[in-house]
Chain A
Amino acid sequence: MNITVTINGTRHTHQVEPRLLLIHYLREVLGLTGPHIGCETSLCGACTVAVDGKAVKSCTMFAVQCDGREVLTIEGLASNGNLDPIQLAFWEEHGLQCGFCTPGMIMTTKQLLERNPSPSETEIRHGLDGNLCRCTGYQHIVNAVKAAAAKMGA
């Protein structure tokens, strides 16, 4: 079926199979390979993108469900070559190692900070319950979220 989706500010129209997962639509049809696939049970969060401003796991949504909606991926976060404060904070605080979970972590952090601009450590850690990382032990990620909150609040 035909879908029209606005992705990172650009409208796209494609003919897709109903079963095409949003993550595969983004990665394979549009070449937006920033969101990753780390599991198939909607637990790891590596595929997190924003649909109409809400963080969702794009592996647990069909592309057809996004017809008429707006999708923001990690690729759309920086504007005019300027990194988003969350991206900068992850860099400065060493909030990543292999980087595979990072696009999802950053997109979830964005939602977390939109809803709670100065979260406590506990709120940050629970806020990341839907994003698994096997490298960092999360401590530098938590630091990055705090640093981003401070930057954005400043």
Chain B
Amino acid sequence: MIPQNFEYATPNSLAEAFKLLGESNAKALAGGMSLIPLMKLRLAAPDKLIDLRNVPGLNSIREEGGMLRIGALVTHYELESSPLVRSRCPLLAEAASQIGDIQVRNMGTIGGSVAHADPAADYPASLHALEAQVKLAKAGGERTLAIGSFLQDTFTTALDAGELVVEISVPVEAAGTGVSYQKCVQPASGFAIVGVAARIRKSGGRIALARVGVTGLSGKPFRAANVERLLEGAAGSAGDISKAAAVVADGVDANNDLHASADYRKHLARVYTARALAAAARKAG
């Protein structure tokens, strides 16, 4: 219940934050919903906590050049309730609304969540389906990585020491795209046993675009390109969907824990992929 001691700083600029983060065993604090419980259980014990809340420019949502640019400190609740996000990227709003609970969504941030890289977190499924870009910054400059390059493994990202997630970009959804996030909830923690995000766009009675992102199934969330390939060009019948969903777990090294064995998780991934695709296809009309 009681964390180890640490120093605390609230930098007023990114430059100042980078400087502080460059010091040994410093950790950035965004919403704290993942980090603080770990500190209380003494599974994390940073020497310095760099609270980003006073850093300007990290909590806005802007539409720019066909993209939504979401500051790292935007909370789950802001994403879930933002009219802009709900209309321009409904998948992300839907995913945000299924995270944790009201209190967690009020505090937790998208940047904090992706930087923590919990394999059972909700966002990565949608971010993969959206082919999101993650902008990182450090004292030396900025770089932008595709979500698949950013999330490397369980609790492991491409972040360098002293580097921060500053922005997540997702494309503005084109008209006629149906989206859905379907999640099998771990009843104790509320995390995803598996979560599947789907986007479907149709053109001339055929699926023109299919995007599928999967979280919870393995140590690393992923985009199910094999599922997408089977769908693109198909009519999107129930049969097409179940055939495509059937391959989602192929070759995946599935997680195996108290809450679901590897083979059950793979089965759930297939079921929830079919459900997400069906819901998205329905909305795509």
- List chain A positions with a Cβ less than 8 A from chain B: 1, 17-19, 21, 37, 40-43, 45, 48, 54-57, 59-62, 64-65, 67, 108, 111-112, 115, 127, 129-131
Contacts and interface: CB of A to CB of B under 8 A. Distances in A.
Given A21-B3, A112-B102, A115-B81, 7 more contacts: A18-B8, A55-B103, A62-B36, A62-B49, A67-B10, A130-B100, A130-B102
B104 A42 contact: yes
A55 B40 contact: no
Interface string B1-37: 1111111101000000000000000000100110011
Contact of B104 (A37, A57, A62, A111): A57
Size range of the chain B interface in the assembly: 20 to 34
17 contacts: A19-B4, A19-B5, A19-B6, A21-B3, A21-B40, A42-B103, A43-B190, A48-B103, A55-B102, A56-B103, A56-B106, A57-B107, A60-B32, A62-B36, A64-B51, A129-B100, A129-B190
A129 B102 contact: yes
Nearest to B40: A40
Interface centre among B7, B8, B49, B100 (most CB of A within 10 A): B8
Contacts of A67: 10
The 7 closest A-B pairs by CB, nearest first: A130-B101, A18-B8, A129-B101, A54-B106, A40-B1, A130-B103, A60-B36
Interface centre among A37, A60, A67 (most CB of B within 10 A): A60
B206 to A, nearest CB: 36
A60 B49 contact: no
Contact of A61 (B6, B32, B100): B32
Given A18-B7, A60-B107, A61-B107, A42 B33 contact: yes
